[in-house]
Structure 1
């Protein structure tokens, strides 16, 4: 786990679960994680082990340029990754096993950004493991978020967290490396990233000595 937001949510979730495999949905107080809420989502497990968004933070929705509530979890992935994403999410819930995913995120203009997703199981009103809380953290958020929507994720690595072992540095389970479907997609050069604003041209970056 590399992103501080994911680590913060994991530590909060761990404090709420106590000696249980997972906390209850009612144990999670939004006010306790208010700085993380724009990046947080909650999914429940429906028929056929399909996860559906009950709630999606504004930052996640902004990446896709649309509201995600009611959509399926797997729909955030590129076509060849949907099945694996659904199986991973369902496994997190049914086995009450947290997971960390590393992602390549592909935009409509073929830009790629790196991100990390944390998936944590929750119990519902019935006491069964039937939902999860997650958080998506983008590394080095680019200027074009909100203007160039994502078309899908590609999972490049999965790590399941063994709660029976000391999670120091969260390295108690090796990451399973996966090939990225976005690999080989052209990433714009610096000159291609010039943006026109009225009669001005804005260059990304800053002073470089």
Structure 2
């Protein structure tokens, strides 16, 4: 089955703000989607890395719907840098390629994904499909989103918080995502079948 056939219902649910489909997608695999908020404010992002990235994104966008990708300066993201992913949009937002994969995220994940595609993470499993669907909708809406999910017990971190901020090209279309991914605490993993 094409991964787009799997992701399309997730994209449709995201566009309709239908949490039931998203929750079922996660709970059927032993995971949970704790939070998913479009246009998040600082109260949802109290962690310094998320707070800084969100404030910076708003500062450089000014009166525009989103900042230009060319406006981003890694120097100005220093407080969040180890957790920052820069993802170039591919295939109309159905996939993306990591231009930058933060060192702290790479440590937690166990691999540096710089230069590789989002669809290559964990063999494009259920979580990767959900987040690819979220990236697709961020590309369509041009709006930031905050998510918080708990992976199943066979994953070595208790949670991931993710802030996805769209960046535009000169024509105003989303061409890149600035994402800040914060892992929860480490935990001993429990054996499980690989979630699909």
Fold match by TM threshold 0.5:
yes
What are the ranges of 5 or more consecutive residues in structure 2 without an aligned counterpart?
1-43, 190-194
Q: Which residue of 2 aligns with 1:27?
A: 71
Would the alpha carbon gap of residues 128 and 70 (structure 1) be closer, same or farther in structure 2, given more than 3 Å must change?
same
Q: Which residue of 2 aligns with 1:88?
A: 134
Q: Which has the higher contact order (CA 8 A, sep 6+)?
A: 2
TM-score by length of 1: 0.60
TM-score by length of 2: 0.64
The answer to which structure has the higher helix fraction is: 2
Matched, 1:8 2:23: no
- Between structure 1 and structure 2, the one with the greater Rg is 1
Matched, 1:66 2:123: no
CA distance in 2: counterparts of 1:72 and 1:106, whole angstroms: 23
How many pairs were matched up? 145
Contact 1:106–1:112 (CA under 8 A) maintained in structure 2? no
Q: Which residue of 2 aligns with 1:185?
A: none
CA distance in 1: counterparts of 2:170 and 2:98, whole angstroms: 17
Shift of 1:47: 2.0
Contact 2:168–2:175 (CA under 8 A) maintained in structure 1? yes
Q: Which residue of 2 aligns with 1:118?
A: 163
The answer to which structure has the higher strand fraction is: 1
Coordinate RMSD, CA, aligned? 2.7
Shift of 1:143: 8.7
- From 114, 120, 135, the equivalent of 2:180 is 135
Query: Which SS does the other structure have where 2:116 is aligned?
Result: coil
CA distance in 2: counterparts of 1:134 and 1:21, whole angstroms: 17
CA distance in 1: counterparts of 2:82 and 2:49, whole angstroms: 11
Larger deviation, residues 48-57 vs 20-29: 48-57
CA distance in 2: counterparts of 1:86 and 1:142, whole angstroms: 24
Contact 1:99–1:120 (CA under 8 A) maintained in structure 2? yes
Contact 2:74–2:81 (CA under 8 A) maintained in structure 1? yes
Query: Which SS does the other structure have where 2:165 is aligned?
Result: strand
Alignment of 1:155-166 (within 5 A): none
Would the alpha carbon gap of residues 110 and 36 (structure 1) be closer, same or farther in structure 2, given more than 3 Å must change?
closer
CA distance in 1: counterparts of 2:78 and 2:85, whole angstroms: 13
